[in-house]
Structure 1
């Protein structure tokens, strides 16, 4: 099953499409934009001394791709049903990885407003969940696949190279609004920008909260010099936030930088269509400083 992400959604509509799949009795989802294809399991080559959640690697059209047993990664004890199992081949942060899952069902088209924040869940998967969708009598948990990969594959971790980030005092005069739902990424962005001299930072956990901050800016309250936004966020995604900014007469000149693991060809064009001034693909976190410097003429 090949996923054609180029035909799915218009830019900035605050919609997404998710593919649901089972692990044990649980129902989970992944954003279609992260999926390259869904395939039958292939022969797996074991890797000595690998992480216990990594089954090994597969060879897919000349590419060597690690396979993560998702049931183990999220703490389930029951193995994936081998009769109906699939490999979801995904691309995150400029690397490909295959997630071994159970039965794959169907695609759902949703609004980000339908997705509740994981802090509202009573289940024990908050740390690995970015949101929950209520579907009839069931719930679909949207997993934080980036965090799962960060925890398992060392080369996928976002890190800061302080030698690439020289401090400039004039950066401290600029106020930056950052919309990012991941607490890990918020902390890393704060550390990176603070080292560079950007110290006046305001954080929002989703696009809707960030938009409220920008609305208050129009009323003469806190004035921001730039915005950094993720794409995937509950309530309002980064593309929709960017579109709102660029269509607003009072805010349209405010520089917006999109920082996401989803800056692929299709997603890059969507960012262009909604008016993003700069787009940086994770894990190149130091490029955020260069982007702000260029846009703010520092």
Structure 2
């Protein structure tokens, strides 16, 4: 137990400091990519893969790892590149996204680097909606690309963004004083999922592509009345975002008088034993793993009603 707590303490030192660790890897070319270490369970040499009929063409097969059957997605093919041919020398990154475990087939794995989120920048303008990039950074004078894994997974196995009829019938936002719900997420797929889930309840949405953009916009809104909660009911924020992550965004909000009363829901594909300690440290009001429309809608309603009861 002491070992686990030591790990928690070490990881939570990054919280509020806008820092992260990236695992660097390559696909079928010399281009290097990065994935947040928090999402990685383990990295291993590619084992024997079993083909299963009617699998998505991007899934090279399934692997039996530690008593679990895991789909293995060729990240090179998923981003429009050539298949990774030499499986004997390839690696699998076992990661957890959106409440499920996947294996990502990559050509090679390099090292882990510690960096700042403010060094992680949005994709260059002009990459277009078809791009699989969610961010870029520079390491050793070389561009590192960070993939929008949520977009890749959604194309392979689309998630429903529909709130259940039962919950929709029981959710009443008519007394929310017309307050908007603010979304901060660097993934266009994730933003659209949240928008669809919440607009069906009659809620108005405003969004930002990263934490820094969200913080600036919330401060602009607060300038009009002196308190952002006069206009914004709840912030739904991702954790992994270029320039400013969700943990730092939450800490900034809670330490800024005109923003401090805003309820923050951290809504993320990150999972693991460290999150609750981190959420408590930065003062977030709720933590929800992506993506379950009913849980998200229920949490938003809960915090809107909390404000009403406080009046």
Q: Provide the TM-score with structure 1 as the length reference.
A: 0.90
2:296 & 2:79 partners in 1: Cα distance? 31
Aligned residue in 2 for 1:233: 241
1:191 aligned residue (191, 196, 199)? 196
1:79 & 1:88 partners in 2: Cα distance? 14
> In the TM superposition, what are the counterparts of 1:140-219 in structure 2 within 5 Å?
140-154=144-158, 157-163=159-165, 164-166=167-169, 168=172, 169-171=174-176, 173-199=178-204, 201-219=205-223
Change over 3 Å in CA distance of 1:25–1:158 after alignment to 2:
farther
Matched, 1:58 2:63: yes
Structure 1, unaligned runs of 5 or more: none
Q: Higher mean Cα deviation, 239-248 or 187-196?
A: 187-196
Secondary structure, in 3 states, of the residue corresponding to 1:196?
A: coil
> In the TM superposition, what are the counterparts of 1:219-298 in structure 2 within 5 Å?
219-221=223-225, 223-297=231-305
Secondary structure, in 3 states, of the residue corresponding to 1:241?
A: helix
Secondary structure, in 3 states, of the residue corresponding to 1:271?
A: helix
1:125 & 1:253 partners in 2: Cα distance? 35
TM superposition shift of 1:81: 4.1
Change over 3 Å in CA distance of 1:5–1:182 after alignment to 2:
farther
TM superposition shift of 1:240: 0.5
Q: Provide the TM-score with structure 2 as the length reference.
A: 0.86
1:161 & 1:231 partners in 2: Cα distance? 23
Secondary structure, in 3 states, of the residue corresponding to 2:214?
A: helix
Structure 2, unaligned runs of 5 or more: 1-5
2:196 & 2:292 partners in 1: Cα distance? 14
Aligned length: 291
Residues 263 and 280, structure 1, Cα contact 8 Å, conserved in 2: no
1:98 aligned residue (99, 103, 106)? 103
Secondary structure, in 3 states, of the residue corresponding to 1:286?
A: helix
Residues 180 and 229, structure 1, Cα contact 8 Å, conserved in 2: yes
Structure 1 segments, 4+ long, off by >4 Å, are none
2:135 & 2:62 partners in 1: Cα distance? 29
Instruction: Kindly report the root-mean-square deviation, in angstroms, between the aligned alpha carbons of the 2 structures.
Output: 2.2
Q: Higher mean Cα deviation, 110-119 or 164-173?
A: 164-173
